[in-house]
């Protein structure tokens, strides 16, 4: 079955360059509640977007080629999730179209902000529109799951409590706080964290009443990956120890980025100015809706 338009001339998006945001996410908490037979882990986590994004520029073409015009250093194009996402959608829908893609990448790699997953999701959502494939969000999310467990949350585009490997989503709206996001001079492999022998894997599952709060930066919630990372990465341990003296702070995902919740943008900027040397950082606000859909809705 093909979802694509048969006539290339009926597609008004061809040869138009359009910019799409590819936002970061943070995990307000990340509990590992078990390990599955396929070696994946069952998680309970809360995803929230932040208003800090890579920017992808896509130009749909009548030629069938998928071209990434801005290769990412150290990543072969065929291994890049951006290219993989475009090929996945193309093969699924048998579309005759191609695309030229460029990216302005500001999200750090190996930071736990979901940059690669977000890039893949943005490509799937954007090309679904530009190629006029007309797949549902559920179909796109199923495709995205083949690329990574975090891809579906970026496709659905709302803050959510996630279970399973991260694909079972329940919409939830935590406080859209201001955060100082910091990253020490290290990069952490998600695979290394999840295959580590000393990773906690038996946190008790949350009750539904535990999700009725709006504040998840409390002792009841935590990041099981942080427990492991601070043992093996002194740079992260040192940064966290410094930050918690000022405000509630927690690692996101498998790290190395840490988010610190502040009462205002002004307070976040003040703390940013005090940071030790060698720490990269930015200030961002939490968002319960992905900015990607504001752009898509206008097309």
Tell me the domains of the chain and their CATH numbers.
Answer: 8-171 (3.30.230.10), 178-287 (3.30.70.890)
Cα of first residue to Cα of last residue in the chain, in angstroms, is: 26
- Nearest to 45, CA basis, from 221, 174, 286, 245: 221
State the greatest distance between any 2 C-alpha atoms of the chain, in Å, as a whole number.
61
Is pLDDT larger for residue 91 or for residue 35? 91
Output the six-digit token pair for 244: 């918690």
Is 65 considered catalytic here?
Answer: no
Confidence of residue 212 (pLDDT cuts 50, 70, 90): confident
Question: Cβ distance 93 to 133 under 8 Å?
Answer: yes
> Going by DSSP bridges, is the β-strand pair 258-262/178-183 parallel, antiparallel, or unpaired?
antiparallel
- Nearest to 31, CA basis, from 220, 280, 215, 274: 220
- For 205-215, letters b (16+ CB in 10 Å) and e give ebeeeeeeeee
- The single residue of 90, 92, 129, 150 carrying the catalytic annotation is 150
**What is the rounded distance in angstroms from the CA atom of residue 130 to the CA atom of residue 112?**
29
Question: Cβ distance 33 to 203 under 8 Å?
Answer: yes
Backbone phi, then psi, for 161, in 5-degree steps? -85, 125
Question: Cβ distance 199 to 34 under 8 Å?
Answer: no
Burial class (CB in 10 A: 0-12, 13-18, 19+), 175: middle
Q: What is the pLDDT of residues 160-188, one digit of tens each?
A: 999 998 889 999 999 999 999 999 999 89
- The single residue of 25, 84, 90, 183 carrying the catalytic annotation is 25
Q: What is the pLDDT of residues 42-52, one digit of tens each?
A: 999 999 999 99
**What is the rounded distance in angstroms from the CA atom of residue 107 to the CA atom of residue 183?**
11
Question: Cβ distance 182 to 271 under 8 Å?
Answer: no
Q: Identify the pLDDT of residue 8.
A: 47
Output the six-digit token pair for 147: 């690329």
Determine if the pTM surpasses 0.85. yes
Is 150 considered catalytic here?
Answer: yes
Question: ∠ CA(210), CA(115), CA(51), 5° rounding?
Answer: 65
Q: Identify the pLDDT of residue 31.
A: 96
In the predicted structure, residue 6 carries a pLDDT above the cut 80? no
Question: Cβ distance 117 to 150 under 8 Å?
Answer: yes
Site of tokens 């093996």: 232
- Nearest to 180, CA basis, from 104, 75, 269, 59: 269
Q: What is the pLDDT of residues 78-102, one digit of tens each?
A: 899 999 999 999 999 999 999 999 9
């Amino acid at each position: 079955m093909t979802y694509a338009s048969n006539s290339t001339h009926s597609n008004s998006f061809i040869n138009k360059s359009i910019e799409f945001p590819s936002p970061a996410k943070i995990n307000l908490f990340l509990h590992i509640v078990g390990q599955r037979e396929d070696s994946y882990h069952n998680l309970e986590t809360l995803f929230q977007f932040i208003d800090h994004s890579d920017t992808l520029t896509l130009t749909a073409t009548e030629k069938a080629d998928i071209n990434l015009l801005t290769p990412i250093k150290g990543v072969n194009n065929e291994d890049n999730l951006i290219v993989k996402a475009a090929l996945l959608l193309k093969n699924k829908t048998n579309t005759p179209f191609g695309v030229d893609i460029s990216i302005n990448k500001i999200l750090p790699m190996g930071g736990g902000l979901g940059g690669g997953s977000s890039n893949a999701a943005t490509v799937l959502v954007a090309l679904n529109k530009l190629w006029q494939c007309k797949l549902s969000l559920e179909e796109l999310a199923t495709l995205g799951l083949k690329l990574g467990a975090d891809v579906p949350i970026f496709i659905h585009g709302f803050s959510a409590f996630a279970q399973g490997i991260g694909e079972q989503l329940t919409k939830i709206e935590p406080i859209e706080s201001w955060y100082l996001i910091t990253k020490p001079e290290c990069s952490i492999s998600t695979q290394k964290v999840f295959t580590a022998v000393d990773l906690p894997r038996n946190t008790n599952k949350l009750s539904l009443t535990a999700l009725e709060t709006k504040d998840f930066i409390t002792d009841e919630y935590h990041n099981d990956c942080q427990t492991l990372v601070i043992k093996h990465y002194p740079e992260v341990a040192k940064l966290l120890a410094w930050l918690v003296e000022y405000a509630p702070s927690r690692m996101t995902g498998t790290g190395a980025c840490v988010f610190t919740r502040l009462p205002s943008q002004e307070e976040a900027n003040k703390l940013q100015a005090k940071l030790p040397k060698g720490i990269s950082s930015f200030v961002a606000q939490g968002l319960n809706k992905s900015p990607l859909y504001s752009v898509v809705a206008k097309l």
